[in-house]
Amino acid sequence: MKMEEMKVPKGLIRIVLDILKPHEPNLPDFATYLSEIGGVEGVNVTLMEIDKETENIKVTMQGTDLDFEEISKTIEQYGGSIHSIDEVVAGRTMVEEVTTPQD
């Protein structure tokens, strides 16, 4: 299933994405562009890997009622592509994962 076909309900308060992007825009500018999306209260960008032409980054976005479609469009507008959605939190509060005996 393509990312465009995924329907994500409203109410997202955190999303963690694995993104591949060109070197430009630089990371501070890219984070700033993402932070200007409606409902976004904070953006954390971590460089995971770099090569001659691209950067693989982990982006954590937190806010109220994050709009996945708008986030995706903004990432694509600045030359990035989403490789995976690594974490999603929805609702009114953060629920932290707990360790279980099976872990």
Q: How far apart are CA 59 and CA 9, in angstroms?
A: 20
| Per-residue confidence (pLDDT) for residue 11, from 0 to 100 | 86
Domains of the chain: residue spans and CATH: 3-90 (3.30.70.1340)
| Per-residue confidence (pLDDT) for residue 10, from 0 to 100 | 59
C-alpha dist (Å) from residue 82 to 35, 76, 78, 98, 99: 17, 8, 12, 27, 28
Per residue in 13-24, pLDDT (tens digit) is 999 999 999 999
Per residue in 43-85, pLDDT (tens digit) is 999 999 999 999 999 999 999 899 999 999 999 999 999 999 9
Q: What is the pTM of this model?
A: 0.84
CA dihedral 74, 7, 63, 93 (to 10 degrees): -170
